[in-house]
Amino acid sequence: MPNLFHDLAVWLGVQVKGSGLGDGIEVFPRHNAIGEKEFGNAIRGPLGIHRGADRRFWFYGADYTLEAQVAYLNGLHKLTEAELQRFIAGKEMPVTASDRKLNSKPAPGHPGRTLRSEFRILDHVGKVRKVGRNYVGRCPACADSGHDRSGDNLAILIQDPRFYKCWAGCTKEMIRASLGQPIRVRH
């Protein structure tokens, strides 16, 4: 299921962190639905203390005191429903890759499988296990070079498996090449 906020940011030309980019905005929630017995992302509220970094992240434009930050937030213009309606009037959400219907013809020689128009990493990697909001498994590129003996370098986003990352630094190009599925260069 596509994430409305992510797709809207991309459509507006805003860089989104985590889509292969180091810089950009962070989009929360990262998903539109949460499966049964699953948890969504924790969100640090405005001026909250980040548990991992153990520090407070301030808003730019005000002094770094709690009182000045709250005054700054209270002084910001709040969008009315009418203003938001004017902003989105005439705009349509773009069609994303996950919105497109996949070709459902049977794959020759593989009963139960269908031909697909896009690469699916889960079809090519071995055993994975669920850790938080990711599947974790052996990175094929690391394995080819004799690394990732613990089988946990590759993280694949459960909500949208098109997003995967090797924590040891292998690029998507390296991973795909080691699977014999190189990324096609479009000219």
Residue spans of the domains in the chain: they are: 121-178
pLDDT band at 28 (very low <50, low <70, confident <90, very high): low
**Strand pairing category for 154-157 and 49-50:** unpaired
- In this prediction, residue 127 carries a pLDDT of 86
Helix (H, G, I), strand (E, B) or coil at 175: helix
Between CA 150 and CA 152 the distance in angstroms is: 6
- Which of 20-24, 42-46, 126-130, 136-140 shows the lowest per-residue confidence on average (mean pLDDT)? 20-24
Q: 103 versus 146: which is more confidently predicted?
A: 146
In this prediction the pTM is 0.40
Q: Is residue 179 packed enough to be buried (19+ CB in 10 Å), middle (13-18) or exposed (0-12)?
A: middle
User: φ, ψ for residue 128 (rounded to 5)?
Assistant: -125, 160
User: φ, ψ for residue 130 (rounded to 5)?
Assistant: -90, 125
- In this prediction, residue 156 carries a pLDDT of 92
| CA distance to 14, 16, 26, 157, 185, per residue, from 23 (Å) | 10, 7, 9, 19, 24
